[in-house]
Chains A and B, each alone.
Chain A
């Protein structure tokens, strides 16, 4: 089964002035409905990769294709690309510019020059989806970190993107908000939105993603299912990754009890319990 390719990069190279290339020959296809985890150390090129996907940075060589057509510098093509591919930035404070939540969410649709009625409908929908109804007239400077993150996601949802790139979305969230974010990501994925999430949280990546792309020094060193990526010792060492705890635990259990039938490695605690032949744990 071949899913429709939404975005593809071919041999993309990008270097900031006076620095080694941040992206050094990246080729990648993003297909509809995927849940991609982008892994790699700081400085491996993840954020630069996102900015290229959205047309903020232009590849110095190589090409970005959107729906099979090369992306050029014309305003129309760029606007279409930016509507299709949204970025939720790591620091919500860098993204939020308006002085009320409602105005903030309207910024994207307003820039698309849609009729006001349509802008209102898009804002209403995004507000509804991120449950921000009570915050509409609030000023962003008095929101909590989790609330700001919700606003920054609503910002992007209001543009009805096909792909959303999340740049380290859990970086400044507490555990409760991280859990809620993960649920939101599940729901976005269920809506058919393609998700690309850069993260240092390998446990989350392992649980959530259908595909893991590993960056190291501006190159893609692995692009496969999370199970396969974490099983590959060379990749894990080269990219300085840690293996997910559950993955390691399952490996140890298999070594201790070879009689356990071989199956796909467990991705959640429930799957782990099933592998051990236990009933699923229920929270107290």
Chain B
């Protein structure tokens, strides 16, 4: 009886038949409800068939425009556009992307406050805090500048989220490799990326086991459990590294990581679409600069 399972070792198809196959990317699919990680959305994004060079180039171009323009309107337009694109192409729920956007808020607000306030000899602004004979004044100019900074920073963050939600790590590494980043850096990134998941998995299993024995029931116990789990993960990583090295050597590893990587080709259609998205933004920037207007 022939089983319908997927394991097999059938005779290989003739090479000619293999050559004609289409570029096989996993279809976007979901495994029920629940939040996935950024990595999972990137792995199954709708843009897996688009060359990572196009995606990275587009994200970088928009980022440079947003930062270089120094206009609040452009910053907001980029934030909104890139977030919508990230939601649409990654298939991640809006709520998830918004929660990601909340992560850098604290940092951005902190730096905006630093820009907002000036140290002056006497109160000058609309809001002043006396301080040891000096004054921290929030001026209108400072407020405008802080507002612009906030929008710019958010636009830049949105560009990076777009890239990381649509481009999996292996594609980004390929881009960096072609850009001639030192080999040692690329190899380390490969291994770190791979082992993050193994170590996380080990940590997860130990945490569940600890929880089932009430390891986190009281705060002091929780610290104890946490440090012990961390120690075990480290020890486990050392043990595992030996086994991994043996397995690599068994396949003739000689000090250089070599992989065959197949990337989606750069297609004219994709480049044109990127241009179509970029040009209105560039036009908006030029127009605002020419008229010398902004939101604030």
Contacts and interface: CB of A to CB of B under 8 A. Distances in A.
Interface stretch (B72-80, B250-258, B265-273, B278-286): B250-258
Interface in A138-159: 138-142, 146, 150, 155-157, 159
A97 B12 contact: no
B26 A183 contact: no
B134 interface: no
Interface stretch (A124-132, A218-226, A231-239): A124-132
Contacts of B190: 97-99
Given A134-B26, A139-B168, A99 B173 contact: yes
Interface string B227-254: 0000000000000100110111111111
Contact of B9 (A86, A119, A130): A130
Given A56-B249, A130-B8, A124 B18 contact: yes
Contact of A107 (B1, B24, B259): B259
Interface centre among B9, B39, B40, B253 (most CB of A within 10 A): B9
Interface string B207-222: 0000000000000000
B95 interface: no
A187 interface: yes
A228 interface: no
B99 interface: no
B248 to A, nearest CB: 6
Interface residues of A, number: 67
Interface in B7-57: 7-10, 12-13, 15, 18, 21, 24-26, 39-40, 43, 48
B188 to A, nearest CB: 12
A103 B259 contact: yes
B259 A131 contact: no
Contacts of B10: 128-129, 131, 187
Contacts of A141: 39, 194, 197-198
Nearest to A103: B259
B155 to A, nearest CB: 29
Interface in A40-63: 51, 54, 56
A279 B247 CA distance: 47
Contacts of B203: none
A124 B12 CA distance: 9
B7 A82 contact: no
Contacts of A103: 170, 259-261
Contacts of B170: 98-100, 103, 139
Q: Which 9 A-B pairs have the closest CB atoms?
A: A106-B260, A180-B7, A110-B258, A103-B259, A187-B9, A99-B170, A141-B197, A111-B252, A108-B251
Given A97-B247, A102-B262, A103-B170, 8 more contacts: A75-B254, A82-B250, A107-B258, A128-B18, A131-B7, A142-B40, A150-B7, A184-B7
28 contacts: A51-B250, A75-B254, A86-B250, A87-B247, A97-B244, A97-B257, A99-B168, A99-B190, A102-B260, A107-B253, A107-B257, A107-B259, A108-B251, A111-B251, A111-B253, A124-B15, A128-B12, A130-B8, A131-B7, A131-B10, A133-B21, A134-B24, A137-B24, A139-B170, A150-B6, A180-B7, A183-B7, A184-B9
Interface of B: 1, 3, 5-10, 12-13, 15, 18, 21, 24-26, 39-40, 43, 48, 168-170, 173, 190-191, 193-194, 197-198, 240, 243-244, 246-254, 257-262
Interface of A: 51, 54, 56, 75, 79, 82-83, 86-87, 89, 91, 93-100, 102-104, 106-112, 116, 119-121, 123-125, 128-131, 133-142, 146, 150, 155-157, 159, 176-177, 179-181, 183-184, 187-188, 191, 283
